[in-house]
Structures are given as C-alpha cells and as structure tokens.
C-alpha cells in the first residue's frame, strides 16, 4: 500500500523523536509545530541523517583531558633555507622546476573554514585588502590566484588548482569567481570541491539551531581535505593528469608560496613523501604550535600540549629542540595523499562563536565563543609516516596570515608584510 505524504511525515517524526530522546536533544523539535510542511520535512530529514552517536562520542571524549606525557615527545629535525649554499639552492630548484614544467604538480587551497575570528560576512577568500597608496584592492582569492599565475607564466604551463570550500560557502565562492572571470585563470583548470561538516554543540552538550528548522553545522576542519578529495574524485583527477606532487595551503596567508621549486626539489631529492614549512618561533612562551615527534612519528605540539620545559630545551650545539612553528604550508606526493584519504584522523575540539536561535525563537549573536566544534587537522596525517621534510623559511617572506582584527595576524599587518615583500622584490602590488 502506498503511504500518503502525511503518513510518511508522521513516521519520520516518530523516528526523529525516538532518536532525540535517546540522545537528550529533544529541544531540536521545539518550534516544529509552527513550521511549514516544507520546513518540517527539512528538519526531520536533517535529524534522521545526523550521526548523533559520533557527536555524542566526540563530545564525551573531549571532556576527558588527557595530559600529554612529555617523555613521548622528541624533536623533529629540520633544514633551514638560509643555510643552503648557492650551489645547493640551484641544485634543488632545478629538480623542482623540472617536475613543475612536466605538468606533474598541482595546488590545493583549503578555503572551507568558517573564519569566525575575522567575523567577515562571506567566504574568507573574498575578503579584500585595500592597498590605499597603490589604489588597489585585492581579495585573498585574487592574491592566491596571482601567486599561481606567476608560476604558470614562468614555467609555460597551467597548474591545476583545486579549491576546497564548505557547504556554507561553496555557492558564494563559485559565484565570486564567476563574477571576477576567474581572475583570468583558465576556468577548466580550477575545480571546487566541498568538505564535510558536523553539528556544533553548546556548553551543555546540546546541538544548536541556526534557524527554527535548521540544525547548525560547520565544516569539520582542514584535515578533512583528503577524504573530501577522495569523495569528489579529485584524487582520480590528479592521477588522470599524472600529477605526482600536491601543495596544500590555507586561503588566509597572503605570502603563501603555493609553487616553490626549492621545497619540491628538496622533498624529491631526499626521498620524502610529505613535507612542511616552518618559521622560527621567536617567543618560547607563546602558545604557537610547533613541530615535534610524538611516539617517534612526525607531529605537532598543539596549543594545549605546549610545555615550557620543551619550549626552552636545546641540543648540545645550542639549537632549540622545539621552535619550528607551523604555517600551514605542506607538500605531499600522490601516494601519501591516497594513503591518508583512507584513514580516519583524530578530531580536536575548538571553542567558537556561533549565532543560534534561542528559546524564544530569536536569533542570538553571542559576543564570545559559545559552541564546541569538532575538527580534523591536516597535520594529524603526518603521524602515519615515519619521517618528513621540515624546511624553516623566513617569516617575512612566507607568512602573513589574516585571522582577526585585533591580534597580531590582522589585515593591516598582513598588508604591511605583503607590500614590503613585493616592493623589496621589485614587483608592484
């Protein structure tokens, strides 16, 4: 017998109520009776598709604070770009350039973040820096595009460019590129793909509503890039194009070098599968994440694990053991990407500011962080390898991120570094 729509809806409602009771999330149906049929269906479908088991496990696990045993931490050795001789530079650059010219190199830009700290409406990549004295405005996407285009011109190729978006910013990102005619990048060489998302949780372990009929979810971290590349057949596409090396970077560092033949040449010549760039962490007391080994495997000492004893410890030769800060600039060969796309990375808990619908059905915008978000970090994939290349570069040449308006990584400091760098190198902004 064919069920009519109202019966199907009723079945869904009963099922949803059962699930919500089990996970103590019944408040999600608080406004149900006031919704239109269409919105009722959207909400019920969302509830039925949500993995409450995963969310509740992640939340419970995140409440248990496990202190890192510093005995399990050891240094990860690094190379310093400044210490390479002219001959060494030429040698490695040549290897990298040969690979780039052969068309075996691609760029992935991770632009699926929420950008909560910046609080800018719209995808972070569309945020514009205004270079007033040059009367020029450039968005972060344009800056990234120009960086890759410079390499295209130099090596007479078009590097395939993959941009990871979130379900929240995918449409607006694509529309933005269309409206700007893809900044003259060959359209068929740019591919957008969306990353995964997870519901957010408030301080009481409750999911929140973004609208009376919509559960608030957010992208689940840049470490989701590998699974998303697999899901959207980006890995297949890379293999079809015979790409051997892929650079991974964020959207918010205006000095990111997406195409760096030295970095590539070193990785290839020294037979690594994965590589990262670092900058020297000047202040040992700061909470900046640094590279290390955990249980012998390449890793990162994250914010909560930073220990002053580790931060000030030195080798006999006077070199610091743990002062290589992460700048989200990585390289991986295709085999490494394939390998990690099949693995499940750890989830980390972040505390972020997110608007929500309150008990009166009104949208409330908090003035401080109010929700937990669960994220995979790209660097957690490193622990699946025995070793990696770590290359220390110069902060003023390669690191000018935009995170918020009040901290050290604000639009003005980024702009200043960008202008200084490009002027120094004789290029106009």
Helix (H, G, I), strand (E, B) or coil at 187: helix
Among 75, 96, 221, 298, indicate the residue that binds ligand UTP (CB under 6 A): 221
Among 111, 208, 255, 357, indicate the residue that binds ligand UTP (CB under 6 A): 111
Residue with tokens 């694990």: 305
Q: Nearest residue by C-beta to ligand UTP?
A: 113
Binding string, residues 324-363; x marks residues near ligand UTP by CB under 6 A: ----x-----------------------x-----------
* 215 is a contact residue toward ligand UTP (CB under 6 A): no
Smallest gap, in angstroms, from Cβ of residue 365 to ligand UTP?
Answer: 15
Nearer to ligand UTP, 50 or 224 (CB): 224
Q: Which stretch binds ligand UTP (CB under 6 A): 107-115, 263-271, 294-302, 314-322?
A: 107-115
Site for ligand UTP in 148-167 (CB under 6 A): 164
**150 vs 147: CA distance, rounded Å:** 5
- In order of 110, 208, 304, 356, 376, the CA distances from 163 in angstroms are 6, 29, 30, 29, 18
Among 75, 113, 261, 411, indicate the residue that binds ligand UTP (CB under 6 A): 113
* 258 is a contact residue toward ligand UTP (CB under 6 A): no
Which DSSP helix (H) or strand (E) runs through 328? strand 324-333
Residues present in the chain in total: 429
**221 vs 225: CA distance, rounded Å:** 8
Residues contacting ligand UTP: total by CB under 6 A:
22
* 117 is a contact residue toward ligand UTP (CB under 6 A): yes
Nearer to ligand UTP, 75 or 115 (CB): 115
Binding string, residues 386-415; x marks residues near ligand UTP by CB under 6 A: -----------------x------------
Helix (H, G, I), strand (E, B) or coil at 284: coil
Phi–psi pair at 215, nearest 5 degrees: -80, 135
**300 vs 345: CA distance, rounded Å:** 14
Residue among 330, 284, 288, 387 at smallest CA distance from 76: 387
Among 160, 250, 265, 298, indicate the residue that binds ligand UTP (CB under 6 A): 250
Helix (H, G, I), strand (E, B) or coil at 357: strand
Instruction: Give the tokens for residue 210.
Output: 């973004």
* 116 is a contact residue toward ligand UTP (CB under 6 A): yes
Instruction: Give the tokens for residue 318.
Output: 């006077």
**289 vs 76: CA distance, rounded Å:** 13
Among 75, 96, 115, 160, indicate the residue that binds ligand UTP (CB under 6 A): 115
Site for ligand UTP in 34-63 (CB under 6 A): none
Nearer to ligand UTP, 265 or 401 (CB): 401
Which DSSP helix (H) or strand (E) runs through 139? strand 136-139
Site for ligand UTP in 262-321 (CB under 6 A): none
* 222 is a contact residue toward ligand UTP (CB under 6 A): yes
Residue with tokens 């394939």: 338
Instruction: Give the tokens for residue 292.
Output: 């290390």
Smallest gap, in angstroms, from Cβ of residue 392 to ligand UTP?
Answer: 20
Instruction: Give the tokens for residue 364.
Output: 């409330």
Instruction: Give the tokens for residue 30.
Output: 């608080």
Instruction: Give the tokens for residue 56.
Output: 């509740």
Binding string, residues 181-210; x marks residues near ligand UTP by CB under 6 A: --------------x---------------
Residue 11 CB coordination number (10 Å): 12
Q: What residue ranges bind ligand UTP (CB under 6 A)?
A: 110-117, 124, 164, 195, 219-222, 250-252, 328, 352, 375, 403
């Amino acid at each position: 017998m064919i069920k009519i729509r109202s019966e199907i809806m009723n079945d869904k409602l009963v099922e949803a109520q059962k699930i919500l009771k089990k996970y103590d999330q019944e408040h999600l149906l608080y406004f149900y009776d006031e919704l239109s049929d269409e919105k009722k269906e959207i909400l019920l479908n969302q509830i039925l598709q949500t993995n409450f088991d995963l969310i509740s496990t992640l939340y419970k696990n995140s409440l248990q604070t496990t202190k890192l045993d510093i005995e399990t931490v050891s240094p990860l050795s690094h190379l310093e770009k400044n210490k390479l001789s002219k001959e060494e530079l030429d040698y490695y650059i040549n290897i990298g350039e040969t690979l780039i010219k052969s068309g075996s190199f691609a760029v992935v830009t991770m632009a699926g973040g929420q950008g909560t700290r910046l609080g800018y409406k719209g995808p972070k990549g569309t945020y514009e820096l205004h270079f007033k004295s040059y009367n020029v405005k450039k968005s972060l996407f344009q800056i990234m595009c120009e960086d890759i285009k410079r390499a295209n011109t130099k090596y007479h190729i078009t590097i395939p460019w993959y941009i990871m978006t979130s379900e929240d910013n995918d449409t607006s990102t694509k529309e933005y590129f269309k409206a700007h005619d893809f900044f003259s990048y060959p359209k068929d060489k740019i591919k957008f793909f969306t990353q995964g998302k997870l519901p957010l949780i408030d301080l009481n372990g409750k999911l929140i509503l973004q609208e009376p009929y919509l559960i608030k979810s957010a992208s689940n971290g840049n470490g989701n890039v590998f699974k998303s590349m697999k899901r959207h057949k980006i890995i297949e596409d890379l293999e079809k194009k015979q790409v051997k090396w892929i650079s991974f970077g964020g959207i918010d560092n205006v000095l990111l070098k997406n195409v760096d033949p030295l970095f590539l040449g070193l990785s290839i010549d020294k037979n690594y599968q994965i590589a990262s760039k670092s900058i020297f962490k000047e202040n040992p007391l700061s909470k900046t994440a640094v590279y290390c080994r955990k249980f012998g495997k390449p890793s990162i000492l994250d914010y909560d694990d930073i220990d002053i004893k580790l931060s000030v410890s030195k080798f006999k030769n006077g070199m610091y053991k743990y002062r290589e800060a992460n700048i989200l600039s990585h390289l991986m060969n295709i085999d490494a990407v394939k390998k990690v796309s099949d693995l499940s990375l750890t989830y980390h808990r972040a505390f972020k500011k997110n608007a929500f619908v309150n008990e009166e059905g009104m949208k409330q915008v908090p003035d401080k962080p109010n929700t937990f978000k669960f994220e995979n970090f790209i660097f957690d994939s490193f622990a699946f390898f025995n070793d990696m290349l770590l290359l220390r570069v110069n902060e003023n040449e390669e690191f000018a991120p935009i995170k918020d308006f009040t901290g050290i990584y604000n639009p003005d400091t980024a702009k200043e570094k960008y202008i200084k760098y490009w002027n120094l190198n004789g290029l106009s902004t």
